[in-house]
Amino acid sequence: MNLHTSLEHIKGVGPKTAEQLRLSGLETVRDLVYFLPRKHEDFSIISTIDTLSPGRRTIKARVESVTTKSVRRGMKVTTAVLDDGSGKVQAVWFNQAYRQTQFSDTKQEYFFSGDFEFSYNRYQFTNPSAEKVVDMPVQTDRLLPVYRSIKGLKSQLVRKLLAELRPLLTMIPDTLPDTIVRSEQLASTSEALLGMHFPETQAQVVRARERLAFEELFQLLLASERNKQENAKLLSWPVTFQQSVVKEIVARLPFELTPGQKQVIWEILQDIERQEPMNRMLQGDVGAGKTVVAAVVARQVVSAGHQVAVLAPTEILASQHAKTFATLLEPLGVKVAFLAGSVSKKRREPLLENIENGQAQVVVGTHALLEPSVRFNKLGLVVIDEQHRFGVNQRQKLLDKSERMPHLLAMTATPIPRSLALTVYGELDISIIKQKPANRLPIETEIWSPVSRKQLYQTIDAELAAGRQAYVICRLIDDNPANDTKSVEAEYKKLQNSLFGHRKMGLLHGKMKPGEKEQVMQQFLAHEIDILVSTTVVEVGVDVPNATVMLIEDADQYGLSQLHQLRGRVGRSSHQSYCYLMTSDTKKPTRRLREVEQSNDGFYLAEVDLKLRGPGEIYGRAQHGSLNLQVATLADTELIQRAQRAARAFVRSDANLLQYDQLAEQVARYQRLTTLN
């Protein structure tokens, strides 16, 4: 038997079991060996109910009675009374309705393990785990690994199978280079896997986790380093810095650049002087002034005889950028063109021609720019707004349109915590604009409860009376745009029947055609609309300086970074702006909302968001879910730094990655994942 052996060859696995395992992604011995426990329950000390004190506790008890009730918003609460002969205690589970059937047999004895705490006016166990006493493996009487449940199989089975594999675990060769294991003083692969599946002490679990987490991070960071190396092999057009060109455009700006903007422009200009394509991400909080940075750089690139493409995620944003670039660059003789899905066929033909013959020097548009019909003429720079990275596929498309790889500048208002920047975006160089232009007043943010809605409307109406405009963002129902539309329409009606009845209102949602959206945004910009009722489609980039009020309904339903992004739609002029966070019920506001109320710092909020929700929630499951980190957390900056040092050293040494099978395989996977999308 070895790691590649199929699981059906293990004792105790019949065809049915093998099929269930396969459905859960477990096919080989290796899959099972790396099927790591979610946690370990400590059964070394069993308390009796009459002596329980608050904390993480384990008891051995029967279930006397169990009931399940539905409370608000589909939440199910299951309550059980547990009895161990010394006394009785209550246990509560939230949204685990299966507990109701699980505990129907009152004779069965279980170990319950979890937090014994004071809540809802009594001491109780909250969401304890439960293991049948008869199922407990004989050899584990202390730390019990708890595995994710596999559909159709008893929770015991995984433990039994692993027990079969235990002798093999002791012989597994190391998956990391020797030198690294030694210099980082890590547990060996074998030691780590034994420590996860068969720990005798908590210290063994800690050491096992450290090793496995380090390995995951090392793989991820090594993948970044190799992506960087591969990028460096590509050839771009070097753009020589000409002081007079840059000075001219900067002198014509209607404002002074902030020190942060100057610094970043300098970093980019230095980058694009090289033959190796730039691969840089510019982070700057909403309103930090990233567009003008791109425009100054674009001016230099055009002046060196190359084309610039500017890509925006939506048509509204693309057209706004086209206008900004035209305003800044056309007086200097630069030709700016706009291309998006809505551009008519008749206007498209000559436009495509101008792009191909190089007359259009800066081309602003949506992803329509990537279509095969668009051919560039010495494309020197691609600016991507509001997207974190540009995948290999997209880059390949650009390369097909251009003899050389263009320099890439990705701009994002989503502040990315340092740990994520290092791991997930490791192949990008990062520039950050920290300050905002000095003429901005900080936005005042307040949490409101629906009971005071009328008073809030009066406050907002006073702003409208003073000539300002407002956004009202509606409830995020689910991922279904049809439901969003319904909620926007309902909100619109509600506002019309309120004291805002005499105000001009507009409506914006994801189901509208690009042309319709554009029209509404134009009306709002021209102040033909006082209140714009919208879904989160206004989230990115849109700039209406006269709008000073942002009311977000059901604010508790959003993530911190998203609230901060929405808030960034206001505060874009020298008028005082306000952001009102309306809670969905009258309960005490959550810690998350209070963080947004108290901080205007997008980076800080992103760090908090990362801690509270994890990267998958924030940056999209598709991207980060697939990273599939089992043990490492991206919040562990210290380990990330260690892994990064090791990855760099490995790349610099002449070690051959292919010598390490499993490592090479994982690194290749991460390389694909992190350059893709």
d(CA 661, CA 425): 25
Q: How many Cα atoms sit within 13 Å of 277 on the Cβ side?
A: 28
Residue 266: both structure tokens together: 């300098």
d(CA 628, CA 317): 33
Among the residue ranges 231-239, 256-264, 465-473, 599-607, the one whose residues contact ligand ADP (CB under 6 A):
256-264
Number of chain positions touching ligand ADP (CB under 6 A): 18
In the complex, what is the shortest distance from the CB of residue 312 to Mg ion, in angstroms, rounded to a whole number? 9
d(CA 210, CA 639): 8
In the complex, what is the shortest distance from the CB of residue 247 to ligand ADP, in angstroms, rounded to a whole number? 16
Among the residue ranges 83-91, 122-130, 283-291, 632-640, the one whose residues contact ligand ADP (CB under 6 A):
283-291
* 495 makes contact with ligand ADP (CB under 6 A): no
Tell me the three-class secondary structure of 388-402, residue by residue.
CCCCHHHHHHHHHCC
From Mg ion, ligand ADP, none, interface partner of 485 (C-beta below 5 to 8 A by class): none
In the complex, what is the shortest distance from the CB of residue 9 to ligand ADP, in angstroms, rounded to a whole number? 58
Query: Taking each helix axis from N to C terminus, what angle separates 591-598 and 602-613, rounded to the nearest 10 degrees?
Result: 170
Nearest C-alpha neighbor of 389 from the set 429, 433, 361:
429
Burial class (CB in 10 A: 0-12, 13-18, 19+), 666: buried
380-419 residues in contact with ligand ADP (CB under 6 A) are 413
From ligand ADP, Mg ion, none, interface partner of 17 (C-beta below 5 to 8 A by class): none
From candidates 40, 99, 197, 290, binder to ligand ADP by CB under 6 A: 290
* 284 makes contact with ligand ADP (CB under 6 A): yes
Which is closer to ligand ADP, CB of 262 or CB of 418? 262
Among the residue ranges 25-33, 281-289, 422-430, 455-463, the one whose residues contact ligand ADP (CB under 6 A):
281-289
C-beta of residue 428 within 8 angstroms of C-beta of residue 410: yes
From ligand ADP, Mg ion, none, interface partner of 266 (C-beta below 5 to 8 A by class): none
Helix residue ranges per DSSP H, 336-383 = 345-357
Helix (H) or strand (E) holding 431, with range, is strand 429-433
d(CA 14, CA 16): 6
From candidates 289, 406, 415, 426, binder to ligand ADP by CB under 6 A: 289
291-310 residues in contact with ligand ADP (CB under 6 A) are 291-292
Query: What track of x and - describes contact with ligand ADP for positions 524 through 563 (by CB under 6 A)?
Result: -------------------x--------------------
Helix residue ranges per DSSP H, 41-171 = 99-102, 155-169
From ligand ADP, Mg ion, none, interface partner of 543 (C-beta below 5 to 8 A by class): ligand ADP
Q: Name the residue with the smallest CB distance to ligand ADP.
A: 289
From candidates 245, 286, 352, 383, binder to ligand ADP by CB under 6 A: 286
d(CA 618, CA 387): 14
From Mg ion, ligand ADP, none, interface partner of 288 (C-beta below 5 to 8 A by class): ligand ADP
Among the residue ranges 51-59, 251-259, 347-355, 366-374, the one whose residues contact ligand ADP (CB under 6 A):
251-259
C-beta of residue 407 within 8 angstroms of C-beta of residue 398: no
Which is closer to ligand ADP, CB of 177 or CB of 284? 284
In the complex, what is the shortest distance from the CB of residue 562 to ligand ADP, in angstroms, rounded to a whole number? 15
**Residue 80 φ then ψ, to 5°:** -130, 150
556-595 residues in contact with ligand ADP (CB under 6 A) are 572
In the complex, what is the shortest distance from the CB of residue 217 to ligand ADP, in angstroms, rounded to a whole number? 31
* 249 makes contact with ligand ADP (CB under 6 A): no
CB count in 10 Å sphere of residue 12: 10
* 506 makes contact with ligand ADP (CB under 6 A): no
d(CA 609, CA 589): 16
* 571 makes contact with Mg ion (CB under 5 A): no
C-beta of residue 557 within 8 angstroms of C-beta of residue 422: no
* 321 makes contact with ligand ADP (CB under 6 A): no
d(CA 578, CA 445): 6
DSSP state of 553: T
Nearest C-alpha neighbor of 548 from the set 579, 520, 521, 593:
579
From candidates 541, 571, 602, 615, binder to Mg ion by CB under 5 A: 541
323-362 residues in contact with ligand ADP (CB under 6 A) are none
* 456 makes contact with ligand ADP (CB under 6 A): no
d(CA 150, CA 20): 8
Among the residue ranges 285-293, 499-507, 629-637, 650-658, the one whose residues contact ligand ADP (CB under 6 A):
285-293
Residue by residue, DSSP assigns 176-204 as S-HHHHHHTTPPPHHHHHHHHHS-SSHHH
Amino acid at 312: A
Q: Are strands 279-284 and 407-412 parallel, antiparallel or unpaired?
A: parallel
Which is closer to Mg ion, CB of 260 or CB of 541? 541
d(CA 620, CA 617): 6
From Mg ion, ligand ADP, none, interface partner of 257 (C-beta below 5 to 8 A by class): ligand ADP
* 94 makes contact with ligand ADP (CB under 6 A): no
Among the residue ranges 90-98, 190-198, 290-298, 585-593, the one whose residues contact ligand ADP (CB under 6 A):
290-298
From ligand ADP, Mg ion, none, interface partner of 506 (C-beta below 5 to 8 A by class): none
Sites of contact with Mg ion (CB under 5 A)? 541
Sites of contact with ligand ADP (CB under 6 A)? 255-258, 261, 284, 286-292, 413, 437, 439, 543, 572
